[in-house]
Structure 1
Amino acid sequence: MTSKRASKSPPDGGWGWLVVLASFLAQTLNAECMFAMGVFIPPLTSYFGADLVEVSTVFSITISLCCFVAPFSSFLDKYGTRRVVTAGGLITTSGLIASSFATSVYYLWFSYGFLVGLGQGMVYAPMFSVLGMYFKRYLGLASSLALTGVGVGYMAFSPIHQLLLDAYGWRGCFLVMAAINANLFVCAALVRPIEVTITTNQEAEDLKKVYTQKSRSPERNCMKLCCKVTTNESLGCGFVFRTRSFIFVLLGEALSTLTYATTALFIVPCVIEKGIPSLSASLLMSTVGIASLVARLFSAACMDLSCLHNSRKFIPTLSMWILGTFFICFPFSSRFVIMVIFCAVIGLAQGFYYPSMWLLVNSVTGRNYTMAVGLTLFFAGIGCVIGPPLGGFLYDVTKNYKVTFPAVGSGNILSGLLLLIAALRHQPTKNDDKTPEDLSPVEDTERLVELEIMEFRVSTV
């Protein structure tokens, strides 16, 4: 059997940095389609004569379906990350082109809500979880750098969309977005599979000898190793749900996305209602994006510092509490400068939350990280389903945002509490922060077998 070059641990560099760049671009385009769409709500509401809840449901379907598809895209990884992301890019661009021919809001529910959400869901989880294959020691740095793409998307595309709307209308803007999102094919091409050894029978025997030479009870330990591999391969989902700390993380993430989706959709309409020009209102989302980008860059520089290893698990809780507090207060501000400050704080809180939250997920779930990413995004979709329609319904009933923002923002306060419980319950294992060089021969052999199986699943071109 043909063998390829083996690697005992993620390479932590090399081509991996180009994969980080590809993930960064994918996150930027995801933010364009998911969170820079608030400027579309006024023109679509006016053109179709629809209620706010009907229009907001378009983007609610997009965001939530992106999250719901994520676990299944993790299963599809057996066909190769490159193939899955390419298919997702094709579906996304097709949905955007179809949306430019929309004849009703319900048409957009399918063309933009379903197709774009499905396509982005097939891109987001694989392009993020693949970083775990390329990085171990610098996973925090790589994840934070990739997630800065969300801040860039926030910062750049809200005003760009507003300018395109003014110049070409919403139909022309959808066509331009389709052309921009065709760059997802480039992102897919940059994901080069990791080369691993496909173990022959003789190599398996040699590996067993290395393992048993360091064990007092070879049969028992060999059986233990096989059980670990079998569990990781076929029972990953069940293993993750048996981790109680992770259950609190999932519930906290579901509540956190109540605000995340609502921020993207309702800040611009809320500000326009106060008499602020539409272009200035779109710049508030740029403020959120710039602050989020700064926070993510700072996270990239600091998250892997040894002095923060024990305290960084509390950053998601602090971020949620700050985010919820300022989101509740936002509709009561009347001066544009105060709104800018509020948006900057909201962006900072969001920027610190996601890199640290993914590190918490990685710490809690360990070797099941790829499966955990998909499940976390699935639960995030629950908040995305509830948040925008709930906000639109409350606005249609009360005709102001002073009920909408506090109702949704209170979910973040509760989310922070759940994440705090998860952080306090989780006890890091002795090998959490060990590098391959620090492991004993037995631990090193276990990690070698587990990595080979994990990497083989994503090494198909």
Structure 2
Amino acid sequence: MAKISTLRTRRGAEAQPDSPKEGGWGIVVVIAAHLSLVIQYGLLQSGGVMYLSWKEDFDTNDKETAAVQSIFSSMSCFSGLPAGVLTERFGCRVSGMVGGILTFIGLLCSYWVTDIYQLYITVSIIGAGIGIGYSSAVVAVAIYFKKKYKIAHAIAISGNGMGMMATPPIFQFLLENFGWRGTFLIASAIAANIVTLSALFRPIRATRKSGGNLHSKHQHLAVKETGDMSNDDQNSEENYRHSDDVLQTGLPAEPDKTPNSSTGYVSLTTDSKNSNPILKLLKRLASSLGFHLFVKSYRFFLLCVIQVEFNIAYMGLALYLVPRAQSVGVAPSSAAILLSILGVGSLLGRLGNGLLVSWKLSAEHVTAILMALAGSSVLLLNFESYYIFAIASFLHGFATGFFYAIVIVLTRQFVGVRKLAVGVGLFQIFSGIGVILGPLLAGWILDLTGDSYQTVFYVGSAVYFICAAQLLILPLLRRVEPGIDISPADV
């Protein structure tokens, strides 16, 4: 029996997945994630270009028209939590392809809508697809990189800035030649490439040496016949199942959370017989959805709150930057270039994020400074000069691009790689709250003040300064929060 135990223990050890090399196929994953995010984020920025076309075609007011972009962007965030669960269950490849298919279907169906309410439905499908695709892309990069993760993430997430930079002029050209319906039809063909790019997010395979597989079936039968299994046998069997989880999902499996585990967690599946089954179900659901992360990491919870406020301010500028420029006599084509300038700044901000973090600077303090810069840049939009608009767009893009990039790195530090998919999903939920409130609040202010864009920008600037103050609190919360058991490689 001791011999069988030794063989089974060896089999479990040999079934453990190899750590992915910092390179190799990981480079392909970074490139695929970058290109996928170029398409996804480019689509999200299309609302500002087509805003006036929707308003004229459907004969709606500012609040009803702004709701299109609000629903579009918020659905991309609200789908983050289902995307995290989908990614943990089926892996980044499957979830990314599902997101690409939904995006393609939503864009294609938008061609035939006849009123604003039907457009609400189709952009909801597009947003859900983008949210699922985004989650799979950022998690795939986190799985393949550890030591060089911050640089790899910066390169991948810079696809957002590239999409912001390239898409507005292209959409403006298509809008002038084919109308907004034809633009969406062409965009659906472009979005179909997300499916192909996501297919490159192949899971990390566990390698098993031949010696561990030759007698695995015989060993299992022998132990079953004797009815006796030592602790080593149980551990090897558990390791074997964990390696199979990696094969299926590409994500590391969680350790067994039993009451006697050294991790100190309490089991959610081995309660006493007198426990309420509904309570047990709710606890299990809350654990699988990651709600316990808010209790264990106060920093993660505050980061989610900051994301709500940030998106309220950001969406107001992103939606009304082009209409604001046109209101002072700027040509539509020149106004659309402002979004490209915003994209250039965002691209540099996302790339600069990896550089600044590599210098071991305090991410929270640097982000707070750049958040204050974003608030200052919004104030510049109250002037009536195209050159000042361009400067404000670049500064705002750089500051917000840095924030969008660093926020995933901070989430990884706060919750770890093991819960990154669910953590990003929860984070996206809070983003969606801000995204859906931002355009609605801005539209309400415009209707209330008689199309006064200055008031919208004053409010947005104040929100950015509030976010900057809250970011300075993050390092202090680390001293009082319970914390999560995180690998040193995640920090």
TM bracket, shorter-chain basis: 0.7 to 0.9
Q: CA RMSD in A?
A: 3.0
**2:400 is the counterpart of 1:381:** no
The within-5 A match list for 1:232-247 is: 235=287, 237-242=290-295, 243-247=297-301
Structure 1 residue 390, shift from structure 2 partner: 1.1
Paired letter, 1:48: F
Q: How many Å separate the matches in 1 of 2:460 and 2:484?
A: 39
Against the structure 1 CA distance between its residues 10 and 421, is the aligned structure 2 distance closer, same or farther, given a 3 Å change threshold?
Answer: farther
Matched residue type, 1:116: I
Q: Is the 1:315–1:356 Cα contact (8 Å) retained in structure 2?
A: no
What whole-Å deviation, never above 9, does each CA across 1:304-360 have from its counterpart, x for those lacking one? 34x33xx12323222222112221x13311111111111111011012212222222
Q: How does 1:21-420 map to 2 (within 5 A)?
A: 21-77=31-87, 78-112=89-123, 114-196=124-206, 205=235, 223-225=261-263, 227=265, 235=287, 237-242=290-295, 243-305=297-359, 307-308=360-361, 311-327=362-378, 329-366=379-416, 367-398=418-449, 399-420=451-472
Larger CA Rg, structure 1 vs 2: 2
For the residues of structure 1 that align with 2:48 and 2:233, how far apart are their CA atoms? 57
Instruction: Report if aligned partners of 2:83, 2:136 keep a CA contact under 8 Å in 1.
Output: yes
Q: How far has the Cα of 1:181 moved from its partner?
A: 0.5
Q: Hey, what's the Cα distance between the residues in 1 that align with 2:422 and 2:430?
A: 13
> Please, which moves more after superposition, 372-381 or 12-21?
12-21
Pick which of 152-161 and 85-94 moved more: 85-94
Structure 1: gaps of 5 or more residues: 210-219, 437-461
1:430 CA displacement: 12
After TM superposition, give the deviation of residue 139 of structure 1 in Å: 1.4
Shift of 1:229: 9.6
Instruction: Return the offset for 1:302.
Output: 3.7
Q: What residue ranges of structure 2 are gaps of 5+ in the alignment? A: 1-7, 221-231, 240-257, 270-283
**Aligned-pair distance for 1:401?**
0.3
Aligned residue type for 1:69:
S
Give the secondary-structure state (helix, strand or coil) at the position aligned to 1:194: coil
Q: Distance in 2 between matches of 1:62 and 1:126?
A: 19
- Of residues 18-27 and 339-348 in structure 1, the stretch that sits farther from structure 2 once superposed is 18-27
Separation of aligned partners in 2, 1:174 and 1:106:
17
Look up the SS of the partner of 2:64 in the other structure. helix
Structure 2 residue identity aligned to 1:111: T
- Would the aligned equivalents of 2:77 and 2:430 in 1 still touch at CA under 8 Å? yes
Distance 1:137 1:169, change over 3 A: same
User: Secondary structure at 1:190's aligned position in 2?
Assistant: coil
The change in CA–CA distance for 1:166 and 1:79 in structure 2 (over 3 A counts) is same
- Tell me, in whole angstroms, the C-alpha distance in 2 between the residues paired with 1:435 and 1:63: 33
Query: Residue 297 and residue 229 in structure 1: after superposition, are their counterparts in 2 closer, same or farther (change >3 A)?
Result: farther
- Residues 207/280 of structure 1: CA separation in 2 closer, same or farther (3 Å cut): same
Q: Contact between 2:43 and 2:167, CA under 8 Å: does it hold in 1?
A: no
Does the CA-based 8 Å contact 1:56-1:388 persist in structure 2? yes
- Using CA pairs below 8 Å that are at least 6 residues apart, which structure has the higher relative contact order? 1
Q: Deviations over 1:395-429 (max 9, x none)?
A: 12222201112223322222222222123322598
Cα separation, 1, equivalents of 2:86 and 2:489: 29
- TM-superposition CA deviations, 1:65-112 (whole Å, max 9, x none): 110110111111202322222121111111111111121111111112
Once the two structures are TM-superposed, the CA of residue 207 in structure 1 deviates from its matched residue by: 9.6
CA distance in 1, matches of 2:83, 2:484: 31
State the shift of 1:154 in Å: 0.6
Quickly say closer, same or farther: Cα 1:37–1:20, change in 2 above 3 A: same
Deviation readout 1:247-281 (Å, 9 max, x if unpaired): 11110111111122223211001111111000100
What's the secondary structure of 2:472's corresponding residue? helix
Quote the offset at 1:435 in angstroms: 4.8
Rounded Cα–Cα distance in structure 2 between residues aligned with 1:375 and 1:197: 33
Displacement of 1:431 in angstroms is 8.9
1:117 to 1:431, Cα distance in 2 relative to 1, 3 A: closer
Q: In structure 1, what is the Cα distance between the partners aligned to 2:470 and 2:20?
A: 32
Once the two structures are aligned, what percentage of the paired residues are identical?
Answer: 28
CA positional deviation for 1:297 = 1.9
Deviations 1:103-139 (A, max 9, x none): 1111111112x11111112211122122221111111
Contact 1:251-1:418 at 8 Å conserved across structures: no
Letter in 1 for 2:43: C
Paired residue total: 421
Residue 389 of structure 1, CA deviation: 1.2
* Cα distance change, pair 387–166 in 1 and its aligned pair in 2 (3 A): same
CA 1:203 to 1:411, structure 2 compared with 1: closer, same or farther past 3 Å? Answer: farther
In structure 1, what residue type is equivalent to 2:375? G
Kept in 2, the 8 Å contact 1:313–1:356? The answer is no
Q: Give TM-score scaled by structure 1 length.
A: 0.84
Find the counterpart in structure 1 of residue 27 from structure 2.
17
**Equivalent residue of 1:323, what SS?**
helix
